[in-house]
Amino acid sequence: MFTKQSNDGYKQVLDGIHMKTLVHGDKSLMVEFRLQKGASLPLHSHPHEQTGYLVSGRMQLEIGGTPHDLLPGDSWCIPGDLLHGAVIIEDSVAVEVFSPVREDYLP
> What is the residue range of 84's domain?
11-105
**pLDDT (0 to 100) of residue 1:** 82
**pLDDT (0 to 100) of residue 99:** 98
- For the CA atoms of 70, 102, 36, 68, the dihedral, rounded to the nearest 10 degrees, stands at -20
Q: Quick one: which of 67, 69, 101, 59 has its CA closest to 84?
A: 67
**pLDDT (0 to 100) of residue 107:** 86
* Residue 26 located in a structural domain: yes
The structural domain count of the chain equals 1
Q: What is the CATH number of the domain that holds 97?
A: 2.60.120.10
Tell me the sheet residues that pair with 93: 34, 56
**pLDDT (0 to 100) of residue 60:** 98
* Residue 96 located in a structural domain: yes
Segments in the chain below pLDDT 70 = none
SS3 76: strand
CA dist 37 and 17 (Å) reads 10
* Residue 45 located in a structural domain: yes
